[in-house]
Amino acid sequence: MPTPLFPVFLDLAGRRVLLVGGGVVARRKAEAVLEAGADLVVGAPALVPELAQAAAEGRLAHRAGPFEPHWLDGAWLVIAATDDPAVNAVVAREAEARRIWVNVVDDAPRCSFQVPARVERGPLQVAISSRGEAPMLARWLRESLEMQLDPALGLFAEWLGGKREVLRARFPNVTRRRQVLEDLIRGPTADALRMGDSAAAEAAFAAALAEDATPCGRVILVGAGPGDPGLLTLRGLRALNQADVVLHDRLVSPEVLALSRRDAERIEVAKEAGTHHTTQQRIHELLLEHARAGKTVVRLKGGDPFVFGRGGEELEALRAAGIHYEVVPGITAAIACGAYTGIPLTHRDHAQSVRLVTAHCRNSIDTLDWRALAQERQTLVVYMGVQGLDTIRDRLIAHGRAPGTPFALVENGSRANQRVVLGTLADLPERAVAENVRSPALLILGEVAALAEKLHWFGAAPIERVLDANAPADPRPLSPPETLSSALKTAAALTLAA
Ligand SMILES: C[S@@+](CC[C@H](N)C(=O)[O-])C[C@H]1O[C@@H](n2cnc3c(N)ncnc32)[C@H](O)[C@@H]1O
């Protein structure tokens, strides 16, 4: 097992660094070294224009010509970045002999130090190294961290730096000081700074300084999206990384839940149509209880919290109790199911508008404006509609929607077990029963639904109705379209005729 490298962060400000090489690679290295404030000397017979310009502006010194060992005089670090391995080898050998740290680009065995991949947020830096053995892996890790670490962290680090002396004077006891700092770090301060609310950040700090400072918790309402963890937003992921407690609906997929902090407490508040395992009131109580205990609570909801998600009610409860909150939107089922089935919810030729409705219970069905919902050239997306499909079909047809209008029932949209059942409005409930469609499922009704037949790309192919020429006549005959494409034409023709 090779010995591990020892990571350090060097203060190069005003210290001499020799860079041997004047090409594109050397230019990249020079940028990083200059950024660190080094006294840079570049030795090479010729320089690329950017380096030549930096030399002309006095930002670096140029030693013209082939490498000479005396260039090393006074250098703390050396980087060999020529395109000639023999020259690089000489530079490395001479530097080593003088006990000067040397890096040879893309030649790990000749290096006495390596330059890590970096993620920077202001004064905060994360350095990643694979000791030159798996640079691609190190790069991948860097990219992942870039996504996960909030850009506001830099601002927060600077802000905290400015508070150090005050904190030290106020809390001479190190353990207590650490505790206060931990609460500040986990609390809403960084988010307040990100949102440009420095008054809130200062208020959180003042509260932390108070003698009887009780930690202040908060709630982040996060939309988990429809199931595919790749559809969670970056901000949602960051919130999950911060959460002490995750209060989640049953609809949230296990893959998304798995992205929360390992030591976070996860509480399922199962709520399904018709079977309210946890009342909304109890959910409010749980949110308040944990936030008041100083915890960062993520309230994780399927899809988007504000689309048939009762997110508004939860915010009202939090607002009334004076608890800090934030909302992170999620991809709602309509958008995700459209995308994952190849159904564009609007289409210049077929639908100029989209309506999202819920058919949760009889009350909501009765209060819907069926005349408006039955209009042609629009897409109707019905959430929680698996149970009331016969009513939906009857009311839409009674209010003028063509029986041949195509539909898609999308079950488990965006998940590995996604199923899509296609048909036309006239036989909507029968198709759902025949194909045993189960919740969560979404109804997309309108001419665009037929496009799934040719545009689908994810998971199993859509299940279409196969017409049996010998079957007894359908009790509710359509002017029977052979395929959904012809159903589309029929629907369009009916629209034209209307
Ligand atoms: C209580 S609502 C929540 C909607 C959620 N807030 C959203 O924005 O998607 C639940 C309904 O959303 C729909 N739904 C949610 N996720 C779904 C999925 N992955 N596939 C199909 N339908 C889904 C179903 O109609 C389900 O009954």
- Reported as a single tens digit per residue, the pLDDT across 99-146 is 999 999 989 899 999 999 899 999 999 999 988 788 889 989 999 999
User: Catalytic: 249?
Assistant: yes
Average pLDDT of the chain?
88
Out of 50-64, 75-89, 256-270, 438-452, which region has the weakest mean confidence (pLDDT)? 256-270
The catalytically annotated residue of 29, 163, 271, 295 is 271
Distance separating alpha carbons of residues 27 and 19, to the nearest angstrom: 9
Give me the mean pLDDT over the 19-41 stretch: 96
Residue found by looking up tokens 């399922």 in the block: 268
Exposure letters 100-130 (e unless 16+ CB within 10 A, then b): bbbbbbeeeebbeebebbebebeeeeebbbb
Q: Per DSSP, what are the bridge partners of residue 92?
A: none
The CA 218 to ligand 1 mean position distance, Å, reads 26
Give 472-480 contacts, CB < 8 A, sequence gap 24+. Answer: 474/427, 476/403, 476/426, 476/427, 476/430, 477/426, 478/403, 478/404, 478/424, 478/426, 478/427, 479/404
Nearest to 391 by CA among 408, 410, 366, 371: 366
Note the pLDDT tens digit of each residue in 253-303.
999 999 998 889 999 997 554 555 678 999 999 999 999 988 889 999 999
User: Catalytic: 427?
Assistant: no
What percentage of residues in the chain have a pLDDT greater than 90? Answer: 67
Structure tokens at 346: 């609007």
Please, is 221 exposed, middle or buried when counting C-beta atoms within 10 Å of its C-beta (0-12, 13-18, 19+)? buried
Q: Report the run of H or E that residue 79 belongs to, with start and end.
A: strand 77-80
- What's the predicted TM-score (pTM) here? 0.69
Q: Per DSSP, what are the bridge partners of residue 298?
A: 220, 246
Q: What share of the chain is helix, strand, coil (3-state, %, to 5)?
A: 40, 20, 40
Residue found by looking up tokens 């901000």 in the block: 235
pLDDT at position 45 is: 97
Q: How confident is the model at residue 498 (pLDDT cuts 50, 70, 90)?
A: very low
Count H helices, E strands: the chain? Answer: 20, 19
pLDDT at position 213 is: 56
pLDDT at position 482 is: 33
Q: Report the run of H or E that residue 178 belongs to, with start and end.
A: helix 174-186
The CA 331 to ligand 1 mean position distance, Å, reads 10
Q: Which of 354, 442, 443, 445 to mutate to test the pocket of ligand 1 (most atoms within 8 A of CB)?
A: 442
The CA 333 to ligand 1 mean position distance, Å, reads 5
* pLDDT exceeds 70 at position 481: no
The catalytically annotated residue of 183, 191, 249, 304 is 249
* pLDDT exceeds 90 at position 173: no
Q: Report the run of H or E that residue 406 belongs to, with start and end.
A: strand 406-411
The CA 228 to ligand 1 mean position distance, Å, reads 13
Q: Which residues line ligand 1 (CB under 6 A)?
A: 226-227, 251, 301-304, 307-309, 332-333, 337, 383-384, 410, 412-415, 439-442
